[in-house]
Structure 1
Amino acid sequence: MTDAKMPVGAGGQTPEVPRSVFITGANGFIGKALLKRYKALGAQVRGMDLFADPENDVVAGDLTQPQRWSEHAKGCDLFINTAAVVSLAAPWKLYREVSVQGVRNCLNVAIAGGAKRFVQISSIAALGWQYPELADESCDVVIGDHYRYGVAKGASEHVVLASHAAGEIDCTIVRPGDVYGPGSRAWLVEPLKMAKAGALMLPNGGKGIFTPVYVDDLLDGIMLAAGLDQARGHIFHLSSSSPTTCKEFFANHWRWAGRAGAPRTMPLSVAAALTRLIWKFNQLLKIDSEITPDTMYMFARTGDISIAKAQRLLGYEPKVSLSEGLRRSEEWLRVTGQITT
């Protein structure tokens, strides 16, 4: 027996536990957390990732070669795609193969396998980095030659919404804020490494908006969006109730690294130019690095996002405060030996 329960929206909205769930990117930060949560509820959960995990019924594969794993997804009621190119430095070709064609492959597998609902995990990066205060789901997605990760996320959303509009399968899109918590590579592990090396740098005095959402709150929101009828065909922003600044958030990493004060800053124009040079240099030497102009643009975001739609339709309410989420994150970093000071 388990004490796990489905999340209940503020208005009493309670989705049913799905009989079976298939998750792509099932070994990733969000994918693994979803897998554990649904399994604890008694759902049959299967998945796919770059590396197999037989213990959790996860097979090896990727979005570009669905024939390798499509059979494993047959018979699942709910299909959740968390797999993506999680990088601000990948080439356009990879984004197109994975975030556009790969998402269409996922839809094809879900439809052929009899899934009733398809959930695409997108990102607020789809809005770009210059959007109005309290931007909602009706705001423009970013287009252009820059901010590749966001452009790719916006393109993936188009693929999913087109499938829903065609009546192929019921679809829902979730745009998480900046997801952190134990296990987070993007917002805990990598920034801490950069802080230890003294390389963590923020543009514009660290005044850029950071929209944290603790992973447990995100799971609640995803499960509400995936299980409620009123979520079909919609996009939802899922984040915390209030933002912070990049300086305030990453000052924790600076402290965890044993450094005084806060990360160094410089004007955005200078930071973008410097990281462009570093990025080109790393490309020549074939060094993988997330030090790119797009990273600086992400850290210079100009507004917060609105979660009012998710609150209204889903009853979504984040429960973990930033201070509590950071406390749990720091505890995990210490237990795993990543903080020793």
Structure 2
Amino acid sequence: MTKILVTGANGFVGNALCDALRARGINFIPAVRLAKQDEQFAVGELSGSTKWADALAGCDVVIHLAARVHVMNDKSNDPLAAFRAVNVDATLNLARQAVLSGVRRFVFVSSVKVNGEETTAKPFTAFDEPAPVDPYGQSKLEAEIALKDLSRATGLEVVIVRPPLVYGPGVRANFLRLMQLVRLGVPLPLGAIHNRRSMVSLNNLVDLLIACSQHPNAPGQTFMVSDDNDVSISELLRMLSDAMGKKALLLPVPAKVIAGVAGLLGKADVASRLLGSLQVDITHTKSTMNWKPVADMQISVNETVAYFQAQH
């Protein structure tokens, strides 16, 4: 019977993954830095010297979620070094110990940021030349490369998944801020924005990760993942408004005007995420894994909003 080590088990995706594994009757070990529940396995800070042997005992699959995540306005003196320490060195350390413990498969949750920040002519695929533009994306790419090298040297089955924005109950950051603005009824100058953005709900990401832990076609593959329903920022805001039972207050301000004002305010990066497109093509994922998203996007948005409203 499969036994899975889940790292970052108390995080946003980790909690949902553990709930899904539990519901499916799949044996797993939830690894965290500091245990707050009896079932959790504390491993301390992630580094190139973290000891994993006890947590890995009896496991044949690792789903590696723990990471130093992308943060706005990073205050580190050397951001790339800080990201490398956790996302590259600690990941490779875990993978090497996994090999020694007899683990056969390592599912690594990377990021669409390995591909880049914005799409223009076509969606990103797993076969595109990587083009990360920030330290977080660069560190994830370096981890992917190191894991592939380890796989060739040891036979460890490596599977890489690159999610775009992940949302669901408990989501934070930009998605949370959008829900807060919609809830307040603030008029937003985004009614004329017709970009295309790929996102993935917790339910769909978790379902694919579990499939990657088991499917015979998964080893050696890199998979893009999304809800397979790309939306513009204005469409997303209308979905959020509908879920809250509100009328979306969207003003048709041209994108160039918004970008110009944002630039003057020092918020060009925020404008880029709101106005630009970032799409992923999941054709390879669906065909290779015989997989499709299990959760409808509007239903997932409704669930996310319901949780948000219950907290407020």
Q: TM-score, normalised by structure 1?
A: 0.76
Could you tell which deviates more after superposition, 46-55 or 187-196?
187-196
How far did 1:175 drift? 1.2
- Once the two structures are superposed, residues 203-231 of structure 1 have per-residue CA deviations (whole angstroms, 9 ceiling, x without a partner) of 99644432122211222211112211211
Whether 1:84 and 2:67 are equivalent positions in the alignment is: yes
Distance in 1 separating the partners of 2:230 and 2:279: 6
Whether 1:114 and 2:102 are equivalent positions in the alignment is: yes
* 1:1-341 map, 5 Å: 19-64=2-47, 66-89=49-72, 90=74, 91-131=79-119, 132-143=121-132, 146-186=133-173, 188-193=175-180, 206-251=193-238, 261-262=249-250, 266-268=257-259, 271=262, 274-275=265-266, 294-335=269-310, 337-338=311-312
For 2:20, the aligned partner's letter is: R
Distance in 1 separating the partners of 2:81 and 2:208: 32
Equivalent in the alignment of 1:280: none
Distance in 1 separating the partners of 2:186 and 2:150: 43
Structure 2 portions without partners, runs of 5+: none
Instruction: Call closer, same or farther: CA 1:160–1:273 in 2, change over 3 Å.
Output: farther
Instruction: Call closer, same or farther: CA 1:223–1:22 in 2, change over 3 Å.
Output: same
- Once the two structures are superposed, residues 89-130 of structure 1 have per-residue CA deviations (whole angstroms, 9 ceiling, x without a partner) of 332222111112122122123222221100000121211123
Instruction: Call closer, same or farther: CA 1:40–1:320 in 2, change over 3 Å.
Output: closer
Q: TM-score, normalised by structure 2?
A: 0.83
Could you tell which deviates more after superposition, 182-191 or 72-81?
182-191
CA contact (8 A) 2:240 2:305 kept: no
CA contact (8 A) 1:120 1:173 kept: yes
Instruction: Call closer, same or farther: CA 1:167–1:270 in 2, change over 3 Å.
Output: farther
Distance in 2 separating the partners of 1:273 and 1:153: 32
- Once the two structures are superposed, residues 126-146 of structure 1 have per-residue CA deviations (whole angstroms, 9 ceiling, x without a partner) of 111233423211112124xx4
How far did 1:199 drift? 9.9
Distance in 2 separating the partners of 1:200 and 1:162: 51
Distance in 1 separating the partners of 2:190 and 2:98: 42
The alignment yields a C-alpha RMSD, in angstroms, of: 3.1
Instruction: Call closer, same or farther: CA 1:257–1:186 in 2, change over 3 Å.
Output: farther
Distance in 1 separating the partners of 2:172 and 2:222: 25
Instruction: Call closer, same or farther: CA 1:52–1:313 in 2, change over 3 Å.
Output: same
Structure 1 portions without partners, runs of 5+: 1-17, 277-292
How far did 1:272 drift? 5.1
